[in-house]
Structure 1
Amino acid sequence: MISLNYSNQNLQNRSFKGQQLAGADFSGSDLRGGNFTGANLIGANFQQVKMGQSQRQVNVLVITAIVSPIILCGSCILLVEVLTTLLSEPVLNFLFGALPFLFFLAEIFLRDSLIVQFPKLSNIFGMGAIATLFLAMLLLTFWFVMIAFPSFSSSPAQGCFFLLLMSVSGIVSFRILQWLRQLIQSHSGTSFRKANLTDTDFSYSLVRNTDFSFAILTGVCVFDWKLPIHNKFISIDCKYLYLKAEKQERQPREGNFRLSELARILDKLGND
């Protein structure tokens, strides 16, 4: 029989994806970076847990931001070289003609996999695009530096103009760097996507960078729920919550939430 006692443990980066964990005890554990996607967690105890990004996840995101511009630029250069030197016009015409058929085959055989992986892939490619843009602007700024100061000896007006362009480029580079930093900081850590969290107890828990998208949250106890930043509640199924310990103070008192009521409760928890 599998033990369902995971209390007071370091469970960072552990995967419980799709597992049957109804009634499991995770109280007091560190769940940063944990993956509970599609898990059955009905009645589980998550009191005093810590959720969010693990250091490993942050390191991977930083490495991705550094390496992705190199890979993206190298891939583009390689693709251009292949298309211009190796492929003849008949071959190109054949490939373009076969594209609809290839997309049709991909839709049949890879549809489910692509749907599941699309959010993760889109985040990675988005981060790569922003990192590449930052690198391009940084190189442009250094180029302006290299030509601005020597220009003062021959033409002070031209030097001032390039100095102005350098300043604008530097400001834009800094703004893009902030954008990239925010993207890393807002990336999900702990995942409860499509998990069944009916009647779970999250009292006294720190909920940060946690993805509850498409999860069932009906009957969850959120007493003293610290909900600071970067959490996702996309298309959740939640008919009611408990705002006090031991599943007291049901909201709403009767019936089920309307969409606006649930959003107001979650917003209040995030601002407390």
Structure 2
Amino acid sequence: MPRRRFNWVLGQIEWLKWLYIGHSPSALCPLPSAFPNMTENQRLDFANQDLRNRSFKGKHLQGANFRGADIRGCNFSHALLIDANFERVRTGQTRRQLLVLVSVAVAVGLLVADAVSRLIFGALGQTPQEPAWNYVLALYVSLGIAATGIGVSALTKTYTIAPIAKVISGVASGALVGFFYGGVNGNQLLALFHQKSAGENNPRTAIAGAVLLGLGMAIANIKCSRGFVSVVVAAAGTVTAYGFAFLMGTTAIACLSTHRWFWGLTLSLLSLLYLWLTLKALTLTIHSIKHFWGTTFRNANLTNAQFAGAELRNTDFTGAIGRGMKGIGG
């Protein structure tokens, strides 16, 4: 009985690992190697099986037979797959993966929308004589950079320009969010050390939050330009683009109401431009979700592996060793 409880606990841990980092619960569908009475060929025979969302990360599967199997959502990263048979397999995303990606995009969008909207409404009505005017200018610049960066990334197909624009947009979006939540919540941290009243916003923690989150987004974009980071940056960029369009629109209305026609018309056109870029950024977000890898062979050894007749979609072969592979692109 204790042994069964222990195995149940391990199963729940595996389930949580799948939920948060993409590994499937091995307790629900154990590897054939878990059955010692099987022969070697039986342990490596996965032909025509439904293996969706399974993790084979780092497994030794030389000569394994996956012919006709559904391996959507599987993780084969760092696995030894020499002479493996992947003929007529089906790769790509699963509904679970799609649900996680959409949830991430929505959560990021709501988080950024909360920060950006409250920053914008706090900036409205501020004048150059106000002490916070420098922060208002910083808001205009940061929103403009984030919105322009994601717009350029969505519009250009150039391999060198698009990633750089996306990094810039991610850094600016991260700095905005870090600035807001750092200022709002940083005072509570300082209150623990009796340095500030818990009811005040703190510009020092706001600036620190902007620097830390902006730097974090830069590192994440450089190290992991694909995957969740791509979805996060696109979703955040969509919100910042709309925020900048809204800010330009309200400023244009203020200019027109005071008969400053040139600036009013100029900012109105700029607002329309960034509304268009918002739609392009939203399209980029959807594209990032749809083309997110579902099955990964990252850094796997696929020497002499067979892929004839395989249905390869949303598959990541980054860093994989593929000498003698057959069926890819054929």
Mark yes or no: TM-score above 0.5. Answer: yes
Letter in 1 for 2:235: A
- Structure 2 residue identity aligned to 1:5: D
Q: Are residue 204 (structure 1) and residue 309 (structure 2) matched?
A: yes
Letter in structure 2 aligned against 1:129: V
Aligned mate of 2:236, from 127, 132, 140? 132
Please tell me whether residue 214 in structure 1 is matched to residue 254 in structure 2: no
Alpha-carbon distance, 1:166 to partner? 3.5
Q: Distance in 2 between matches of 1:32 and 1:215?
A: 18
SS in 2 for 1:193: coil
Contact kept, 8 Å, 1:69 with 1:129, in 2: the verdict is no
Match of 2:199? none
1:77 corresponds to which residue?
A: 180
Greater helix content: 2
Structure 1 pair 4/123, CA: closer, same or farther in 2 (3 Å)?
closer
User: CA–CA distance in 1 between the matches of 2:229 and 2:84?
Assistant: 35
Counterpart for residue 21 of structure 1: 61
Structure 2 unaligned spans of 5+: 1-35, 116-176, 197-203, 209-218
Pick from 157, 167, 184 the counterpart of residue 289 of structure 2.
Answer: 184
Worse overlay, 132-141 or 26-35: 132-141
Structure 1 residues 68 and 142: CA distance shift in structure 2, 3 A: same
Q: Where does structure 1 lack aligned partners over 5 or more consecutive residues?
A: 97-113, 228-268
Overall identity of the aligned pairs, in %: 31
Distance (Å, rounded) in 2 between the aligned partners of 1:47 and 1:13 = 19
Residues 139, 81 of structure 1: alpha-carbon distance in 2 compared, 3 angstrom cutoff: closer
Aligned to 1:51: 91
The structural deviation recorded for 1:208 is 2.2
The residue correspondences of 1:17-166 to structure 2 (distance < 5 A) are 17-71=57-111, 73=115, 76-83=179-186, 86=190, 119=224, 123-141=227-245, 163-166=268-271
Q: Deviations for 1:41-100, whole angstroms, at most 9, x for unmatched residues? A: 2221111111122222222112111111334546643322344572759xx9xxx9xxxx
SS in 1 for 2:224: helix
Structure-2 change in CA distance of 1:75 and 1:146 (3 Å): closer
Letter of the 2:272 partner, please give it: S
TM-score of the pair, normalised by structure 1 = 0.60
The answer to whether the Cα contact below 8 Å between 1:33 and 1:189 also exists between their aligned partners in 2 is yes
C-alpha deviation, 1:143, in angstroms: 6.0
TM-score with structure 2 setting the length: 0.50
Q: Counterparts of 1:6-17 in structure 2 under 5 Å?
A: 6-17=46-57
* RMSD over aligned Cα atoms: 3.6
The 1-side partners of 2:281 and 2:270 are apart by: 16
Does the 8 Å CA contact 1:18/1:36 hold for their aligned counterparts? yes
Question: Contact 1:187–1:209 at 8 Å: present in 2 too?
Answer: yes
Q: What SS does the corresponding residue of 1:173 show, helix, strand or coil?
A: helix
Distance across 1 between alignment mates of 2:326 and 2:228: 34
The separation in 2 between residues aligned to 1:128 and 1:212, in whole angstroms, is 22
Contact 2:230 2:288 (8 Å CA) reproduced: no
2:179, 2:267 → 1: CA distance?
30
